[in-house]
Structure 1
């Protein structure tokens, strides 16, 4: 027993030693003023290599996982207060209620539209490249069907009843709604008695600046957090896990890449009229953090930095679109993934799908992506709703559990990037996009690097 304990400790400390060496390298690069995006990319690559080595030599990654979890906890620490303050600050800066309504329509419209297109892409790719190829049906006990919340229960769960309790439970949507109520009330009172709300506006403005600084402190740990998270992921899932469902992974990532490049790239090019390569280069920190954390909420702080400092969207638009996108913009989780899983399950169980079924899949994917806002595990819920809508067996979800985490990385990256794209589109239409600053690469890189080193 003592030998086993010593072996476990040695395996754990060896992985931590390798991690310490890599952290030392990243710290030295930060001291030499190497760009933030470059260090995040290097952390991602080194984490992948280290994780593969951990898997091959069966090294314990509990210590490395703890570092990654600490990073996620720090980000979760700032999400609730950040959403609360930013939404209020954004709305009270808009004194015209009709303008606020117009922003809401445009933002949610882009969310719904791109999710519908994502579902169509998922269907087309899955029908052209069979995701069930090479897969044989085997029983598994890993899946437990999740309860599908009714529409009215979802609506009720999103309504704030005790904002303090909602914040303690990490419920973002109720806090967002509560913040909107306070902000709109502030605007209404300010129209009649501007002197009454001025102290509150000053307080919110100061708190916003303070929260931005807190976010900068937390985001400095991003290269190390990204390394830790991807290393643990690579160590946990080896080739043996992926091989039976390799085609499902391939099909999903092909669909995600098509949506990413052609839909997002097309909107950026032809609607916002900016260079898509430059846009994706500037949005890279958001993409990398979303890919490794697998959480739109965890990506929210850095996405706000990217949208304002690199994409050059005004804080007024960014503070409105980004929190909303983190709660209801699920192009990957609510659009592409449910559509592909529906085709996969239909093929595995030999259930033919008609053109009507495909239309239902697209429509339900679009609606459910909004309906599950704030519900834990939105991809699972959306997929369950879609399978139920077309009468496919829910048992089919059991077969995709093994690769869910691997696919979730790409899904979340698409979700978060979709929010960044929407912020650009809305800002461009409202004259809140600084095109000249966007095209100034040197100024942009210097600002982000100096704030996050």
Structure 2
């Protein structure tokens, strides 16, 4: 066996041995009924510490990464059927079409409004802190600027043509639209011939219950998946990668944290009229999983559990808002990030942005966040759209590639939490929020300990 291959094999086993011990600790805590949120937080810390050790000693993490990939695959396995049955089940339980229209307007309105505020915060922080000052532009080798799909192509790509094929390719938005057609047809036919849709409605109700149980099974792996994902991330990025763009990382996270604390905290406090500290504590599992998986769709199953079991929002609202939010609510990716990158690129290339440019950044960020729904890599596409509209060099995107994964963790956490906040706001306005249970601190630990 080649010496290098043998060394890599042995290195993988060392990291796997360390991982096995730490995962055993997490399992032991689960058996002792330690809370799910506590175990996720501990997994985050253990993964970060282990990853730094792997990086320091040059240990391979392919084996550890496989554990994280298995968890992500399990999540992907349930997203399509979960969205399909939940959307249908949510719509067919609404007999008042005026009520449904209100839900749509309020939900998308909050998505757009909070994304616009996020862009403003990103602009303000970036302008004040000058993340591109003194930066030496150096385009990463092999980088290719992503092609911007036209608005009409984006629309066409999200329309279902073959639902089976769309499901096989993991395209969530076409499945969501197909589910809406099915749900509206059930409501229409059911108003004339209730007996014709009875069996199918019973099937959807049964499938919903079954999928909830499948979700519980999969989410039991969350602490182990979180550990593996954060360990690989910490092992991959050393200080030599982060140092040149440390200011950009700082600016991005300061803007994300400001939006998270003051905008989300302010909305749940002033609009939903609940204690923001209690809200953040209850929403923590969503934040942790989004932060480590870097995927709103991967966070969707646990977000649904958090919204209904911990925040006490009705399943009807949660089943409508959460899938929609995973598809088009991009406070971090579509609001903060394009604004910060626009200022960064303008500084690096010595270009001046005017007040008109700032207004355009906010407006285009809001529009593009909806326009890229379901497009892979929405942050990159949204940023490309904004830079193009402002006439800034697209090559600037290449400058931030090295640290984008690190920033994406925070962006996704903000995206997913924004969906949670919107679900609470909409439910509160429609009387679908159990305020008494929330205030009493009643919450289901989501039954995620081993049986």
The two structures have a TM-score, normalised by structure 1, of 0.98
Q: Displacement, 1:451? A: 4.2
In the alignment, structure 1 residue 382 sits paired with structure 2 residue 385:
no
Cα distance per residue 1:161-209 (max 9 Å; x no partner): 0000000011000000000000011011111111211111111000000
Q: Is the 8 A contact 1:35 1:449 kept in 2?
A: no
Task: Classify the secondary structure of the residue corresponding to 2:178.
Answer: helix
**Aligned residue for 1:107?**
107
**Aligned residue for 2:164?**
164
**Aligned residue for 2:414?**
414
Task: Classify the secondary structure of the residue corresponding to 2:447.
Answer: helix
**Aligned residue for 2:232?**
232
Q: Displacement, 1:397? A: 0.6
Q: Is the 8 A contact 2:139 2:395 kept in 1?
A: no
Cα distance per residue 1:350-402 (max 9 Å; x no partner): 11110000000100000000000010000000000000001000000110000
In the alignment, structure 1 residue 56 sits paired with structure 2 residue 56:
yes
In the alignment, structure 1 residue 12 sits paired with structure 2 residue 9:
no
Distance in 2, matches of 1:196 and 1:452, equals 41
**Aligned residue for 1:82?**
82
**Aligned residue for 1:133?**
133
Distance in 2, matches of 1:181 and 1:88, equals 9
Unaligned 5+ residue runs, structure 1? none
- Pairs aligned (count): 450
Task: Classify the secondary structure of the residue corresponding to 1:283.
Answer: helix
**Aligned residue for 1:218?**
218
Q: Is the 8 A contact 2:36 2:448 kept in 1?
A: no
Q: Displacement, 1:8? A: 1.3
Q: Is the 8 A contact 1:219 1:302 kept in 2?
A: yes
Q: Displacement, 1:137? A: 1.7
Task: Classify the secondary structure of the residue corresponding to 1:394.
Answer: coil
Q: Which region of structure 1 is more displaced relative to structure 2, 27-36 or 193-202?
A: 193-202
Q: Is the 8 A contact 1:142 1:398 kept in 2?
A: no
**Aligned residue for 1:116?**
116
Cα distance per residue 1:75-133 (max 9 Å; x no partner): 00000000000000000000111211110000000000000000000000000001113
Task: Classify the secondary structure of the residue corresponding to 1:27.
Answer: helix
Cα 1:139–1:194, aligned 2, differ >3 Å: closer, same or farther?
closer
Aligned alpha-carbon RMSD (Å)? 0.9
Q: Which region of structure 1 is more displaced relative to structure 2, 127-136 or 312-321?
A: 127-136
Unaligned 5+ residue runs, structure 2? none
Distance in 2, matches of 1:448 and 1:202, equals 28
Distance in 1, matches of 2:182 and 2:400, equals 43
Distance in 1, matches of 2:142 and 2:75, equals 30
Task: Classify the secondary structure of the residue corresponding to 2:216.
Answer: helix
Task: Classify the secondary structure of the residue corresponding to 1:358.
Answer: helix
**Aligned residue for 1:450?**
447
In the alignment, structure 1 residue 97 sits paired with structure 2 residue 94:
no
Q: Displacement, 1:449? A: 5.0
Q: Is the 8 A contact 2:309 2:446 kept in 1?
A: no
**Aligned residue for 2:248?**
248
**Aligned residue for 1:338?**
338
